[in-house]
Structure 1
Amino acid sequence: MTTAQLSVGELLRDWRERRRRSQLEVAIAADVSARHLSFIETGRSGPSRTMIERLCEELEVPLRERNRLYLAAGFAPVYQERPLDDLGAARSAVEAVLTAHEPYPACAVDVRWDMVATNRPMELFLAPLPDALRQPRLNMLRATLHPDGLAEQVRNYTQWRAHVVGRIRRQLYRTAADGLVELLEDVEGYPAPPGSDVEAPAVTARDGALPVLPLLLRTSLGDLSFLYVLSVIGAPRDVTVDEIAVEAMFPADDATREALLAHQPRMSAALMRAGCVCADNLETMSVKAQQYAAEVLRREQITPHLVRLVLGGPGLAGFESTGIPDEWVGLVVPGQFQSRYYTVRSWQGGELTLDVVVHDVGLVTEWATRTDPVGQTVTITEPKGSYAAPDGAQWLLLVGDLTAMPAMARIAETTTLPTRIWAETPDDLPGYLPETAEVTWSTPPSETSSDLAAAVEKIEWPEGDGYFWMAGESSQMRAIRKHLMRERKLDSHAYDVMGYWRGGGQKRQPRSVDPGPVWREGKAQGLTDEQIWQRYDEQQEQQ
C-alpha cells in the first residue's frame, strides 16, 4: 500500500513510529487521551482539522506531509506551495543571505538538495558541470559526488561521501520526502575517483584541528577547504518556504580565505560574462550596473556570421572604458528585455564598436539582421573585463572561436608580449587580427560545436612563464580548465578561460512568441513595460 492509499490514522501512526514515540507520550504532549489517539490511528475515530494540526506539530511533520494527512482525512490541503518568486519577503531573505555571503560560495536548496538559487561564487564552482547533471534540475549532492561532476576535485571523497550519505538518511527519516531513496542509492553507488584518499583533519581539539569535517576541493584557485552552515526560514506557513535551506560555505583555513578574497574581482567578471544566473529565475543579487542609452550610428556586415555595430550619441557621454582589453558590455535591443553580452571591439571618439556574432535565430540576431537598426536606441551597461596577464609574463597564448575574435583582436593590438593565436571561425577574416601575432586558423566542425579543446591539447607551450586566455563554447572551456589544472598544472593567475556560449549539437530554436511585435503594439497603445510583458507572458501560455 502506498502512502497515498493510507488512511489518516495509518499516516499518523507512521509518523509517530518514525519519531520513535509511544502513543501515551504523544497523547500527553498533545493534550489528548491515549485512547482517543489509539482510536484515530486504528480508524475508529476521525480527527478534526485542529486535531491533525496539533498532532503534526507535536510530531514535527513537514508541511507537505501535513497536506497529505488533511487529504487522507477528507479535508482540503491547508498549506500552499508557491513559487519562490511569489514569496515576497521570504524570497528577499534568501537573496539577501546569498548576496551577503559573497565572496564565499552559498546556495539555496530544497528538501532533496535540488538547486533553487546560488550566489556568484557558487555558480563559478559549478560552471564546469556538464549539461546532463543540470537536467531536469541540478542536484547539489549529485553534482558534488557524480563521476562526471566534481568528484575528481573532492580530495577527501570517501570521507565526504560517507558524510553525505548520513545527511540523506537523516533527511529521509525527518521528512520522508519523495526522491530521497533514489538519491541515497545513487550516491552510495558512485565509485571513488583515483587519488581521492586525502584524510581531513581528525575530530579533536587537542592540536587545534578542525572540530568539523571539511570539504577539501582541488580547484583552479589551489587546494581549498570549506565547512558549511545551514540556515532555514523560521515559522514557515508555505511548503516551499518549509523546504528551503541555505547552505553557506565558509573557509576552513586561512589559505582558502585568502584565495577567495584575492580572486573576488575575477570571479565576478567571469560570471557576468557568462551570464550566470540562479536556478528558477531567482537572479543573483548584485549592484545594478550603470546603463546608457546609445544610438546605432552604423551597421556593417563583416562576414555572413559577423555584424559590426557602431554606437554613439549623447547617451554615451558618461561611458568610460575599463581599459581591460577583453571588456564587455550588456546590450538590450528594442523590443527585448534580456541582456546579451558583447566584447567592446573599440571605444574611440565617443563611438562604441561591437562586433556581434549572428545565428539563424536569437534575441539580437533577429534585430540586427532582419531590420535596419541604424537610428534606433539600445541600452548598454557599464563595461567589465577579466583579462589580467601577470607581471613577468614572457608570452601570450590566445585561443577562441568567432565569439572570441573581438577580444583576441583587441588583446593582441594592445599587448607587447609575443603572441600566438588559435582562431576557429566559419568565415575568412583577413586583416581582422594584427600582423604582429602568429595565427593558426581552423574551421569549426559545425555551427553548434567546436574542436578547440583538442587543439589546445596539441599546443607546444613556450618556455618560461606566460599567460593563456581562451573563450568559446562552454563544454570546450570545461575540458580546457581540467587540462590546464591537471596536465599543465598552471597557477590560477596564469590563465583565464571563459564560456561565451553553449552548444549541444542542435540549432537554436526560435521563440514561440516574438516579443518584438508585442512590445511595439503595447507602446503604440500607451501601455507600461510591465503591462506589455504581462501580455507577452499571456501569449506564451497560449502556445
Structure 2
Amino acid sequence: MSHKPYKQFDKSTPEYWAHRAAYKAEKYARKAAKYAYKAADAAVVAAGQAALVGGAGLRDGGVDPTRGGVDPARGASQGAVEVPDEAAAEAAHTTVFYRSQGILPSADRPVKPKRKQHVLTVLKRTELTPHLVELRLGGDGFAGFTPNEFTDAYVKLLLPTTQSGLVPPYQLDALPSHLRPVKRTYSVRRVNDDSIDINVVVHGSVGVGGTWARSVAVGDQVALLGPGGKYRPDPLLSHVFIGDNAAISAISHSVEQLLADNPAARAEVVIFVAHESEQLEIPAGENVRTQWLVVPNYPVSDTHMADAFADLDLPDLGSGGVQVFAHGERGNIKALRRLLRQRQQPRNQLSISGYWAKGRNEDRFQAEKHEPIGQIEED
C-alpha cells in the first residue's frame, strides 16, 4: 500500500480529494514547524555567538588555525568588529520567547546531541580509474568510529579551504561561515577491521571533494561525520541495482553483502559511465548479471536509466518480490521513479535518490533538495 493514504481511493471520487487535502495540510504544517524551528535555532545561535564575542572578551573574532576555534589571544589584528554586550541579553530573551512558543525545546528537555566528529588518517590512496580514487581512512581516531550495518552507508567529510589554515577537529559553532569546512558526502565502499574505504569521483580541478582527493596524501588527516544510511538488501528477494559512477561504491557494497548472505541471490546490475576506462569489477555471483552502459558525456538525456530499466526481464516487479536500488544523476532518477510508479513497484521495496545533478555543484544540489526541482517523490 502507498505511504500516501489518499491513493487508496479512486482519483475521480470525493474521498480521494478530501484525504489528499488533509494529507497535504498535515505535510506542510510539519514542514512549517520544521523550518520555524531551524530559523529560531539560527537566530539563537547567531545572538549567542554575538554575545560570546561581545561579552566574554573575544572581541577580535580571531581564529586559531591549529584548533579550528575562537582564540582570544590573537588580538584585534584579525580585523573583527566589536559587538555590543547587550547581545547576551537579546540572546537570552530570544531563547525564552521561542521556548514559550514551543518552537525550541524547554530547558528541562534533552537537546538532540550534535554528531560527533571523527578525525581519521589517510592510510592508503588508490586510483581505481582515471576518475575514481579510493581512500582508506583509519588510524587512532577509528577507535571511536562505529560502523553501521547498512550497505548504502555514507560519511560526510569536513573539508576546509586551503586559505583557512584549519586542522581537525573543528569547533564548527565558533567559526564564521566563510571559514567553516564544507561538507561532502561519500558512500562507504567497505568496512575493514581498522578502517573504512571510500571512493571519490575526481574530474580534474572541478569540485571541492574531487580536488581534495586528487592531492591528499597518505598520513593526512580528515574529519568526518557519520555514518548514516538505511538500506541493506533482503537476501530472500530478487534485486535490481541501477546507477552511475557516483553509485558504484554503494552498488558494489550492496551486491557484496547480498552474495555473502545468499550466494544464489538473483540480481540485475546496470551502471552508466562516460568511458570504458571507468568500469570496475563488481562482485560476481551465479545469478548476478552486470551491464556497463557507456554513454559519452553522460548524461545526455534524463531517460538513460528508465530506458535501460524498461529493457530488463523482471516478471516479479510490482509483486513485492523485487527490491530496487536506484541512485545517481537526479534527472535520470526522477524519470526512473515515474516509471517505477507506473510499474507499481512498492515504495517499501525501493531505495532511490539523486546523488548529484547535471550542471549543479554540490552546494546548489543540496539546496535544491528543498525545492520542487530537487524532489524525487512527486504527486
Q: How does 1:220-369 map to 2 (within 5 A)?
A: 225-228=23-26, 246=32, 288-335=114-161, 337-360=181-204, 361-369=206-214
2:297 counterpart of 1:439:
no
2:278 counterpart of 1:423:
no
Unaligned 5+ segments in structure 1 are 1-120, 126-152, 157-194, 202-212, 218-223, 232-244, 249-284, 512-543
Deviation at 1:230, TM superposition (A): 8.9
CA distance in 2, matches of 1:216, 1:317: 49
Asked if the contact 1:470–1:497 (Cα under 8 Å) also holds between the matched residues in 2, the reply is yes
Q: Secondary structure at the match of 2:133?
A: strand
> Which of 326, 331, 338 matches 1:482?
338
Alignment deviations for residues 495-521 of structure 1 (CA, whole Å, 9 cap, x no partner): 1111100114x8x6999xxxxxxxxxx
Q: Which amino acid aligns with 1:314?
A: D
Asked if the contact 2:123–2:219 (Cα under 8 Å) also holds between the matched residues in 1, the reply is yes
Asked if the contact 2:159–2:184 (Cα under 8 Å) also holds between the matched residues in 1, the reply is no
Instruction: Give 2:90's aligned residue.
Output: none
CA distance in 2, matches of 1:453, 1:469: 13
Provide the alpha-carbon RMSD of the alignment. Answer: 3.5
CA distance in 2, matches of 1:225, 1:372: 48
Instruction: Give 2:227's aligned residue.
Output: 383
Deviation at 1:196, TM superposition (A): 4.3
Asked if the contact 2:151–2:257 (Cα under 8 Å) also holds between the matched residues in 1, the reply is yes
CA distance in 2, matches of 1:475, 1:389: 25
- How many residues are aligned here? 252
Asked if the contact 1:311–1:353 (Cα under 8 Å) also holds between the matched residues in 2, the reply is yes
Task: Calculate the TM-score normalised by the size of structure 1.
Answer: 0.42
CA distance in 1, matches of 2:229, 2:334: 20
Deviation at 1:479, TM superposition (A): 1.4
Q: Secondary structure at the match of 1:446?
A: coil
Deviation at 1:387, TM superposition (A): 1.4
Q: Which amino acid aligns with 1:492?
A: R
Unaligned 5+ segments in structure 2 are 35-110, 162-179, 365-379
> Which of 453, 456, 473 matches 2:306?
453
CA distance in 1, matches of 2:328, 2:187: 13
Alignment deviations for residues 3-39 of structure 1 (CA, whole Å, 9 cap, x no partner): xxxxxxxxxxxxxxxxxxxxxxxxxxxxxxxxxxxxx
> Which of 250, 268, 276 matches 1:407?
250
CA distance in 2, matches of 1:355, 1:466: 27
Q: Which amino acid aligns with 2:352?
A: V
Greater CA radius of gyration, 1 or 2?
1
Cα distance change on mapping 1:359 and 1:214 into 2, 3 Å: farther
Deviation at 1:373, TM superposition (A): 3.0
CA distance in 1, matches of 2:196, 2:203: 22
Query: Greater RCO between the two (CA within 8 Å, min separation 6)?
Result: 2
Deviation at 1:490, TM superposition (A): 1.5
Asked if the contact 1:214–1:226 (Cα under 8 Å) also holds between the matched residues in 2, the reply is no
Cα distance change on mapping 1:446 and 1:286 into 2, 3 Å: farther
